[in-house]
Structure 1
Amino acid sequence: MPRNAFRTLRLVAATSVMALSVSLGTGTAYAERPPVVDPGLLPAGGPAAPPTETEHPANAPCISTQTGGDGPTIPPAQRSLDLEHAWQFSRGAGQLVAVIDTGVAHHPRLPGLIPDGDYVAAGGDGTEDCDAHGTLVAGLIAASRVNGQGFAGVAPEARIMTIRQTSSQYQAKGAGHDKGPDDMPDGYGKISALASAVRRAADAGARVINISLVACPTTRPESREFGMLGAAVQYAATVKDAVIVASAGNTDSCQASNPGLDPLHPNRDLWDNVVSYVAPALWDDYVLSVGSVDSFGRPSEFTVPGPWVGVAAPGENIISLDPRDSGLTTAKFTKQGQRVPYSGTSFAAPYVAGVAALVRARFPELSAQDVIERIEATAHAPAEGWNPYIGYGAVDPVAALTAEVPNLLPPKSPSAAVSEQLPIPTPPPPPDHTARNVALIGTGVIGLLLALGWLASFPLRRKLGMRDDH
């Protein structure tokens, strides 16, 4: 029986502006699932242009980065994946990975970068990364290996195709008329454009599509634009056989977070308490959603939990390609000059997208759904088997490339607690001290004989009144 048989069909749709993680409104939770997707809402893949006119305000320069991370030291997040071992089996050769993000800048460690359009700036080709985000995502997926450099992408022989869909440094044209000189732009990114970008990437032959951005409305999504996005991910996954990997969302950008497991009711249906509808992650029949773990493998505090989360990957203190330089970067700076390390589920997702590229290169016969199930089945599972923070567990590239996987995954719900009476141990037999006793007795006898011999050696003459004559 396929995994989808365990899933109840779900509910979706709503209008919203999308950025890296934009949450909208407040409201009441509904115990409903994503809906049956309407293929009739599938958008066209082109032209790749902003749905409305946009502007880049003069007071919103592109984000500055901090260089660093170069050298032979392997970054901790990368080391935890044991990529040196995984590369013995696959390096992602022949795989095209689409990065739908803030753009991917040209970089010497992304050879063969394919520009495929810009839904933010008219006339753009997707290679401007004003937000210092998409280039890092692409680097985590497919940065080439360089002698003397510890950092490399998960699939260093894969190719990247860039489609810019969002930017925090742009806004709709005219939106700045009532803003002050220090006011930040509104940001720009439409869900309808994301839907078009997904279809565009799939039609261009992308075998893996990475979406490190979310929309997370707190009211039930019902708009036509969300319906278009649902149709696009279904089309890409089932018709074009693309593996779609998406971030699970961050609590600092989504207005609300979903509750985790209730220890008093561990088997309660988590869909009953959804308050943040994270898209496109919630279409988990077609999307592999990724949460974040820290350097110790613990769930990151910022991950938005949800019944759709599939797996997790490192997402804290990330090092990757610098969009402002030919090297690496460890942090960015806010407009006020504050240094901000790179962390978020946005950076956990590309690690998993890279693993998907490795698996597709090693097992070209596997369907997109098979690839997702292999990654989930070989992850380091939590005690519950699955939980809403890390899904089926932290991804394991080596296991995904080498392990025998089960034919059936359990549904996305924690395993029920089991009460089991352990057998009472059989009492151990009494210790046998025979050898010790024999040894002690023998030692005592020998000691006694020695003592008697020593006493017998004393001269008896004095006792008998005898003495020497001279």
Structure 2
Amino acid sequence: MRSTMKYRYAGLVLAFTVILPVACAPAFAAQDGPSAAPTGDPGATLLPPLPLRLGKDNPCTEPSQETATGAAWSQTALGLARAQRISQGAGVTVAVVDTGVAAGVPSLAGRVTAVGGAGEDCVGHGTFAAGLIAAAPEKGSGITGIAPKAAIVALRGTDDRGVPSPALVALGIRTAADRGAQVIYVGHTLRTGMAELTAAVAHATERDALVVAPAAPDAVPKEELGPNNVMPKGPYWPAAVPGVLAVVDFGPNGVRQASAPPAHEPDLSAPGSSMVSAGPGGSGHYIGSGASLAAAGTAGAAALVRAYQPELTAAEVTRKLLATAYPADTPRLDPYAALSLVPEQNKPQYAEAVPAHLPEPADPGPLNRGLAIAGGGLMVVLLVGALAVVLPRGRARGWMPPGRRPEDASAGQ
């Protein structure tokens, strides 16, 4: 993180905090889950839930007909208004290795390059993540991505139903690095594929690309649950690969939902619950939750830093995001701090102070002798002065004690 983070639920998305996350939606249903209703806020916008995967016979996710007119809570929590005055990600390319990024999304217009069939997004998850990373603000809506001037390159890491595979994700990471992406976002977790995903991340690292991935699944399919429906605890790939920035989510109240799948050794946490972003086509919005969405926001923050300080390597960007994060059990992303603060380890190292060399003290002998002579002379002067006063007066009294005169002595004889 952060218990002291300033969460202000802006505009019409105040009621989003009570909308059920996608992790609680029925078994990866596309659109058959009910829209969430607000609790007493008649002005809240009802947004459809974001699907994570589609069932075999489910139709593709359609564009949302609902638009969020206010800002999302996550935008305020991350201090985007201040951070975007410093950097908006211009000149940085972020790869989205996910379900694809749909064409026809106004907030991403002109900034998406699709590789292969990644220009279509039947599920909508990749488009949603790309919006969290780089959506530009639109008239009539307060929703914006973290790096609204970054470019997106879309690559497939799943099939058209949203099911990821190690081969597709590894190929997506390699291709993204070869195409010059400075930040590579992976939208899904995998329980297998350690070897090929580790090799793919190494390939990206050699090309100075920063890989960001979720440290927990957004939801766990029934077939992957353990005995008694116990959720697995990881590791999850590629987040568990050394060098990957592994991210977990938290909600508007600063904590993860108790029903969320357990995370495996996250490096960083970021807003990921009740997130609002673009749907697959059109200007409408969806709402979703999960670590994958927290990772998308972190990828956007990395783009801000890489645009503002292009001289930093991918490893240095990671260290800066971690060093400026708000301290918590899992440090919390703070884009504004990453752009404006200098971590302790990055501060200039000043040379160790050299102790002053004072000259050796002079021999005190002559000084002491001089003081003794001066003191003796002063005593002589004082004695002479005293005698000059006492002797005349003594002679005048005939050396009699004070108060007696010489005639008094003669009278007594």
Scaled by the length of structure 2, the TM-score of the pair is 0.65
Q: How many residues align?
A: 286
Q: 1:193 aligns with which of 160, 168, 175?
A: 168
* SS at structure 1 position matched to 2:195: helix
- CA-CA distance at 1:226 after TM superposition: 2.9
Amino acid at match of 1:313: A
Within 5 Å, give how 1:349-388 maps onto structure 2.
349-382=295-328, 387=329
Offset from partner CA, 1:122-158 (integer Å, 9 cap, x none):
xx2x011111100000000000123442111100010
Counterparts of 1:93 and 1:251 in 2: how far apart (Å)? 30
> 1:291 and 2:237 equivalent?
no
Amino acid at match of 1:350: A
Counterparts of 1:365 and 1:145 in 2: how far apart (Å)? 28
Alignment partner, residue 293 of structure 2: 347
Alignment partner, residue 28 of structure 1: none
Alignment partner, residue 236 of structure 1: 204
Counterparts of 1:377 and 1:98 in 2: how far apart (Å)? 24
Q: 1:227 aligns with which of 183, 195, 198?
A: 195
* SS at structure 1 position matched to 2:320: helix
- CA-CA distance at 1:58 after TM superposition: 8.2
Counterparts of 1:141 and 1:84 in 2: how far apart (Å)? 15
- CA-CA distance at 1:376 after TM superposition: 0.9
From the superposition, tell whether residues 79 and 57 of structure 1 become closer, same or farther in structure 2 (CA, over 3 Å).
closer
Q: 2:72 aligns with which of 62, 72, 75?
A: 75
* SS at structure 1 position matched to 2:109: coil
Q: 1:216 aligns with which of 185, 191, 198?
A: 191
Q: 1:328 aligns with which of 284, 301, 325?
A: 284
Q: Is the 8 A contact 1:100 1:197 kept in 2?
A: yes
Alignment partner, residue 319 of structure 1: 276
The root-mean-square deviation of aligned C-alpha atoms, in Å, is 2.5
Counterparts of 2:189 and 2:55 in 1: how far apart (Å)? 24
- CA-CA distance at 1:300 after TM superposition: 3.5
- CA-CA distance at 1:60 after TM superposition: 2.9
Larger helix share, 1 or 2: 2
- CA-CA distance at 1:68 after TM superposition: 2.7
> 1:138 and 2:142 equivalent?
no
From the superposition, tell whether residues 396 and 275 of structure 1 become closer, same or farther in structure 2 (CA, over 3 Å).
closer
- CA-CA distance at 1:251 after TM superposition: 6.6
* SS at structure 2 position matched to 1:233: helix
Scaled by the length of structure 1, the TM-score of the pair is 0.57
| Percentage of identical aligned residues | 35
> 1:406 and 2:344 equivalent?
yes
* SS at structure 2 position matched to 1:109: helix
From the superposition, tell whether residues 248 and 298 of structure 1 become closer, same or farther in structure 2 (CA, over 3 Å).
same
Unaligned runs of at least 5 residues, structure 2:
1-21, 24-53, 227-231, 347-413
Counterparts of 2:343 and 2:335 in 1: how far apart (Å)? 13
Unaligned runs of at least 5 residues, structure 1:
1-19, 22-55, 119-123, 170-186, 218-224, 258-273, 332-341, 409-470
From the superposition, tell whether residues 355 and 251 of structure 1 become closer, same or farther in structure 2 (CA, over 3 Å).
closer
Counterparts of 2:130 and 2:218 in 1: how far apart (Å)? 23
Q: Is the 8 A contact 2:90 2:150 kept in 1?
A: yes
Counterparts of 1:188 and 1:358 in 2: how far apart (Å)? 30
Counterparts of 1:304 and 1:356 in 2: how far apart (Å)? 25
Offset from partner CA, 1:341-362 (integer Å, 9 cap, x none):
x111111111100000000011
- CA-CA distance at 1:240 after TM superposition: 0.6
* SS at structure 2 position matched to 1:189: coil
- CA-CA distance at 1:322 after TM superposition: 1.6
> 1:250 and 2:217 equivalent?
yes
> 1:305 and 2:302 equivalent?
no
- CA-CA distance at 1:196 after TM superposition: 1.3
> 1:100 and 2:97 equivalent?
yes
- CA-CA distance at 1:243 after TM superposition: 1.1
Amino acid at match of 2:144: A
Counterparts of 2:67 and 2:338 in 1: how far apart (Å)? 28
- CA-CA distance at 1:275 after TM superposition: 4.7
> 1:394 and 2:332 equivalent?
yes
From the superposition, tell whether residues 251 and 132 of structure 1 become closer, same or farther in structure 2 (CA, over 3 Å).
closer
Within 5 Å, give how 1:23-102 maps onto structure 2.
59-64=57-62, 66-71=64-69, 73-102=70-99
Offset from partner CA, 1:20-59 (integer Å, 9 cap, x none):
99xxxxxxxxxxxxxxxxxxxxxxxxxxxxxxxxxx9983
Q: Is the 8 A contact 1:248 1:278 kept in 2?
A: yes
Q: Is the 8 A contact 2:268 2:333 kept in 1?
A: yes
Q: Is the 8 A contact 1:142 1:155 kept in 2?
A: yes
Q: Is the 8 A contact 1:135 1:321 kept in 2?
A: yes
Offset from partner CA, 1:284-320 (integer Å, 9 cap, x none):
x31001100000221333153222x111111111110
Alignment partner, residue 177 of structure 2: 202
Q: 1:165 aligns with which of 150, 157, 171?
A: 157
Counterparts of 1:250 and 1:193 in 2: how far apart (Å)? 17
Counterparts of 1:83 and 1:191 in 2: how far apart (Å)? 34
Counterparts of 2:235 and 2:315 in 1: how far apart (Å)? 23
Alignment partner, residue 234 of structure 2: 276
From the superposition, tell whether residues 115 and 297 of structure 1 become closer, same or farther in structure 2 (CA, over 3 Å).
same
Alignment partner, residue 384 of structure 2: none
User: Which structure's CA Rg is the greater one?
Assistant: 2
